[in-house]
Each structure stands twice: as structure tokens, then as C-alpha cells.
């Protein structure tokens, strides 16, 4: 297909880049870290969304070299920030086949010199859905090395709550769809309350995604959600912008 060919060209011609979105400590308002988000600038079509091209990169296997590049690029960027800040990187389920994820993370940390405690990896419920001994062992190795595993888009997938107990997960990211309606829908509020309460009880950090209004910020902070992410706190920006924001916040 056309997209497959375009992606090969994009990889060869270095059309990919990363942007960084701040993740803020709810109580203090300080930046705690940044999520690295992949972008593709196509010479004719302009910016292509990762939701459009990541599935194709997963089918073709390009996600393996691309994912390795994302990890290294993000870790190198984070070495320039104040030491208290972390960088969070999204991992595809494909990267967990054959222990690739562990090798790639190890290599990114070694080549960048970033402390493992400053790296978070975001996995989705789909990674856990086909969970084999490999995923479990990899997550355990991550957490033994001090790397935080964050469960992304929490609440939208199929994972059972048992995962939170038996897998080495350090953070829950509450999906944006719940945050969007948290002020208007009693059901969404109830779900957010339950997730935030669960995180607190289990001693997990908790990031609310897609925070766009002051009202959401106040409510989530009052509920005890530890971290906030969304356009209200900052849109994704270039590596240079992240560095400026990181220094200004320290
Ligand atoms: O940044 P944006 O909202 O366009 O991201 C859309 C989706 O793409 C999100 O689900 C996000 O997790 C995913 N995504 C962004 N960057 C990466 C990446 O580097 N690797 C993987 N596997 N997914 C990513
Ligand atoms: O699945 P994941 O959480 O990794 O996806 C992150 C995506 O969410 C990114 O594509 C990012 O651009 C988008 N995003 C981040 N903050 C907001 C927000 O406040 N509102 C909306 N609509 N999207 C957001
Ligand atoms: Mn994410
Ligand atoms: Na998410």
C-alpha cells in the first residue's frame, strides 16, 4: 500500500521527529516530566497523526527500528533537563515480542547515559491482553532497574484490575475520555474517583490525561490525582521548547 512505501521513505529521509508534552505535579503545578510523542511530517501531506501511521508501522515491522529511535532520542533529550524530571515513552505491543523492548530500553539508557529512574515507559492494555511470560518478565526487569511502567489510556481497554496487583506497574494514566466529561457527567466523575482512589490505595502514581479546563484541574487535584497532563498545562512542543519549560519550572 501507499502508506507502507511512504513510511519506508520517511524512515530513510528522517521525516520523523518528537514533541514533548509536560506532565505536571497537581499540587505544586511544577513540571514533573514530559511525554515524548512521535510526529511525521510528510513532504506533501504535512503532519500525519500517529494514530494513522503507527498501526501500519506495526504491521510492517518498522515500529521496531522506529521505536528504538524514539527511545534513544527521548532519553538523549532528557539528559539536558534538570535531574528531577522524567521522560515518558510509548511502547508498542510489537516491541514486547522477543524481548525487543528490554534490549531497546537498555541500549537507549546506555547510549544516552540517562539514569533509569528518569525513564517511564507507557504501555497500553493491548500489551497486557496477550500477556505472556515475556511481558511479565520484561515489566519486572524494568521496575527492578527503577524504570516506571505506566498503564496508558486506563479504563478504555479490557485489562482486569488484577493486573495492577500482579504486574510491576507504577503509574496509571486515566484516559482523556473520562476527564473530558468529569465536570458534566456524574458517571465519568464516579469512574475518575474510583480510578484515582484505587491508585492512591495501591500506592501508584496517577496522571489525568487531556486536562483542558481550570475546573477539571481543580477537581482532579481535590480528588487526589497526583499528576496532570493536557492542553491546559501545556501542548506538546519541540525539544528546544521542552528544555526551556524544564529550566523555567526547576
Ligand atoms: O500525540 P497524539 O495524540 O497524536 O498520539 C496519538 C496516539 O499515538 C497516542 O495513542 C499515542 O500514545 C501514540 N503514540 C505517540 N507517540 C508514540 C510512539 O512513539 N510510539 C508508539 N507506539 N505510540 C505513540
Ligand atoms: O494515548 P496517549 O495518551 O499516548 O495519547 C496522547 C495524545 O493525546 C497525544 O496525541 C496528544 O497530542 C493528545 N493530547 C494531549 N493533551 C490533550 C488535551 O488536552 N486534549 C486533547 N484533545 N488531546 C490531548
Ligand atoms: Mn501515552
Ligand atoms: Na493515553
Going along the chain from its start, the domains and CATH numbers come out as 2-170+234-249 (3.20.20.450)
- State in Å: Cα 35 to ligand 1 middle: 10
Task: Measure the CA–CA gap between 142 and 25, rounded to whole angstroms.
Answer: 23
Q: Whose CA is nearest to atom 10 of ligand 2?
A: 37
pLDDT of residue 129: 84
C-beta 50 within 6 A of ligand 1:
yes
- State in Å: Cα 92 to ligand 1 middle: 9
Model-level ipTM above the cut of 0.85: yes
For the segment 88-142, what is each residue's pLDDT rounded down to a tens digit?
A: 999 999 999 988 999 999 999 999 999 999 999 999 988 988 777 889 999 999 9
For the segment 196-245, what is each residue's pLDDT rounded down to a tens digit?
A: 999 999 999 999 999 999 999 999 999 999 999 999 999 999 999 999 99
Give every CB contact of residue 4 below 8 A, 6+ residues apart in sequence: 56, 59, 60
Cβ neighbourhood burial of 213 (10 Å; 0-12, 13-18, 19+):
middle
DSSP state at residue 237? B
3-class state of residue 115 by DSSP? coil
C-beta 229 within 6 A of ligand 1:
no
DSSP β-bridge partners for residue 92: none
Task: Measure the CA–CA gap between 37 and 136, rounded to whole angstroms.
Answer: 25
- State in Å: Cα 52 to ligand 1 middle: 10
C-beta 184 within 6 A of ligand 1:
no
Task: Measure the CA–CA gap between 175 and 157, rounded to whole angstroms.
Answer: 10
C-beta 37 within 6 A of ligand 2:
yes
Amino acid at each position: 500500500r501507499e502508506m507502507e512505501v511512504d513510511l519506508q521513505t520517511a524512515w530513510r529521509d528522517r521525516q520523523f521527529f518528537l514533541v514533548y508534552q509536560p506532565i505536571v505535579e497537581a499540587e505544586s503545578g511544577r513540571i514533573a516530566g514530559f511525554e515524548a510523542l512521535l510526529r511525521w511530517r510528510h513532504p506533501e501531506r504535512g503532519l500525519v497523526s500517529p494514530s494513522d501511521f503507527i498501526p501500519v508501522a506495526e504491521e510492517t515491522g518498522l515500529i521496531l527500528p522506529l521505536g528504538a529511535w524514539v527511545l534513544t532520542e527521548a532519553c538523549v533529550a532528557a539528559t539536558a533537563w534538570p535531574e528531577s524530571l522524567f521522560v515518558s515513552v510509548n511502547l508498542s505491543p510489537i516491541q514486547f515480542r522477543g524481548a525487543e523492548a528490554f534490549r531497546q530500553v537498555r541500549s537507549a539508557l546506555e547510549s544516552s547515559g540517562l539514569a533509569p529512574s528518569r525513564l517511564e515507559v507507557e504501555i497500553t492494555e493491548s500489551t497486557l491482553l496477550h500477556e505472556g511470560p515475556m511481558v511479565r518478565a520484561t515489566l519486572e526487569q524494568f521496575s527492578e532497574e527503577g524504570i516506571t511502567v505506566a498503564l496508558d489510556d486506563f479504563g478504555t481497554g479490557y485489562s482486569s484490575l488484577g493486573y495492577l496487583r500482579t504486574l510491576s506497574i507504577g503509574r496509571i494514566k486515566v484516559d482523556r475520555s473520562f476527564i473530558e466529561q468529569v465536570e458534566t457527567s456524574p458517571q465519568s466523575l464516579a469512574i475518575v474517583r474510583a480510578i484515582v482512589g484505587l491508585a492512591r490505595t495501591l500506592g501508584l502514581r496517577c496522571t489525568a490525561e487531556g486536562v483542558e479546563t481550570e475546573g477539571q484541574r481543580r477537581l482532579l487535584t481535590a480528588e487526589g490525582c497526583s499528576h496532570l497532563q493536557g492542553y491546559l498545562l501545556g501542548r506538546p512542543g519541540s525539544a528546544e521548547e521542552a528544555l526551556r519549560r524544564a529550566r523555567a519550572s526547576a
